[in-house]
């Protein structure tokens, strides 16, 4: 469970207030824009889920990395 707590915590916090419609979250839209170059104001549900699907491997890697950083922070 310790491995999962970092990624789950990141996802939970980053989706705050937009759990049912994450594509409307300004933070996630900004992250997608800076990563992919897709203009944030054009991101809708279709574009969001397409991005998640096509980048699922890299997103999983990122979430594993957040767990490692969380573990280092706790010592």
Which range of residues forms the domain containing residue 65? 2-74
Sign of CA dihedral 39, 44, 46, 50: positive
Task: Identify the residue whose tokens are 């944030």.
Answer: 40
pLDDT digits (tens, 9 = 90+) for 3-57: 556 677 778 888 888 988 999 999 999 999 999 999 999 999 999 999 999 999 9
The structure's pTM equals 0.78
Tally of structural domains, the chain:
1
CA–CA dist 26, 9 (Å, integer): 18
Cβ neighbours, 10 Å, residue 25: 19
């Amino acid at each position: 469970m310790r491995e999962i707590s970092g990624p789950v915590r990141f996802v939970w916090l980053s989706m705050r207030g937009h759990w049912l419609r994450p594509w409307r979250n300004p933070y996630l839209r900004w992250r997608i824009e800076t990563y992919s170059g897709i203009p944030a104001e054009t991101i809708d549900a279709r574009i969001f889920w397409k991005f998640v699907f096509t980048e699922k491997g890299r997103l999983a890697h990122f979430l594993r990395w957040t767990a490692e950083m969380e573990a280092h922070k706790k010592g």
